Each structure stands twice: as C-alpha cells, then as structure tokens.
Structure 1
Amino acid sequence: MDELKNRIKEMIVTALELEDVTAADIVEDAPLFGESERGLGLDSIDALELGIAIKENFGVSFSAANEDTKKHFYSFDTLAAYISANMPK
C-alpha cells in the first residue's frame, strides 16, 4: 500500500500542478478540501481534475450522483483506500 500511496501523492501534485507542495508534504489524515492548516485547501475545480487524473492513472471512476463520493475525497487516506479497493486487478 505504501507504493500505491506514493504513486497517488505524486499524481495529486502533478495533476493539480501544486507548485509549493511535494508528495512528502501531503498529510494523509488532513482534509483535502477547504481551509485547513494541515490540508491542501483544494476546491471544486481541483476535485474535477483529480477525478479525471485518478481515472486516467488508476482506472477508478467516481459518480457525482453518489453521496459516498464526498466521503472518499475527505482526506488522502480515504481517497487512497477507495482507489486501492476499486482498482482493476
């Protein structure tokens, strides 16, 4: 799982073009969205870009109509767990 987490972190930094953030800077249990001292402070546009990048890199899709999608995007940990559980084998 550590290798997958590293791949996901690198993908987030690259896909969202986070200039002042490295993969090592991502706090795994901090909120990805909104204002948080430890989080990334992403917004709805970032969510769309991130969803596309996840599909392209890991073959995992999200449904905007599914209420659980918001839960999966809460933190890096919740996102990585969803990707890991739903990646094509």
Structure 2
Amino acid sequence: MTDSATPDLALEREVAALIVEALNLEVSADEIQPEDALFGEGLGLDSIDILEVALVVSKRYGFQLKADSEDNFSIFSSLRSLAAYIQAHRTT
C-alpha cells in the first residue's frame, strides 16, 4: 500500500488526463510532469481553470474541494500535490 503523501503513478496519470480533458489542453497527459507547477510558469492554469478542475475532481472522486480553502494553493501547486490530496480524501 502506498503512503498517502505519495500518490501512485497511475493516479497521477489519471489526474493529468482528467485535467487535459476538462480544460481541452493542447498537451498530452504524459507531458505534464508531476512536480511542475500547475499555475503560472508550469502548466499555466489560471483561477478559472482551477475551479473547473476542482469541479471535475469533486465529481470523479466523491469529495468537495472548496473555493475558499486556505489549502488550495498547496493542493493545486503541482500534479503530484493534487494527486496526493485526492488519494487521501477520495471516497470513490
């Protein structure tokens, strides 16, 4: 069993594919590196993109990501941090 702080590679790839599909990005899921930033210089997502990702994550994994959460910056800092959060909180 994997440590909840370290998501497995399959979940990271699944979340990357979910982001690409939800936002109609012109990159493949395999091009998103686990430690690259999702905001700004990394993937270049903005706050509207993050809201869209939060919605699809909530629907797919059965838990709510709140827009006003103080943890959102760290949760969405990278693919790996988002996948780790999903792994720790998912209900489905």
Instruction: Tell me if both proteins adopt one fold, taking TM over 0.5 as the criterion.
Output: yes
**Aligned counterparts of 1:60 and 1:70: Cα–Cα separation in 2:** 18
Question: Size of the alignment, in residue pairs?
Answer: 85
**Aligned counterparts of 1:2 and 1:27: Cα–Cα separation in 2:** 11
Specify the alignment match of 2:13 in structure 1: 6
Contiguous gaps of at least 5 residues in structure 1: none
**Aligned counterparts of 1:32 and 1:56: Cα–Cα separation in 2:** 20
**Aligned counterparts of 1:2 and 1:77: Cα–Cα separation in 2:** 9
The alignment-based identity, stated in percent, is 41
How far off its partner does 1:42 sit?
0.3
Question: Post-superposition, which runs of at least 4 consecutive aligned residues in structure 1 deviate over 4 A?
Answer: none
> 5 Å matches for 1:41-56?
41-56=44-59
Contiguous gaps of at least 5 residues in structure 2: 1-7
Q: How much is the aligned-residue C-alpha RMSD, in angstroms? A: 1.2
How far off its partner does 1:6 sit?
1.7
> What is the TM-score normalised by the length of structure 2?
0.85
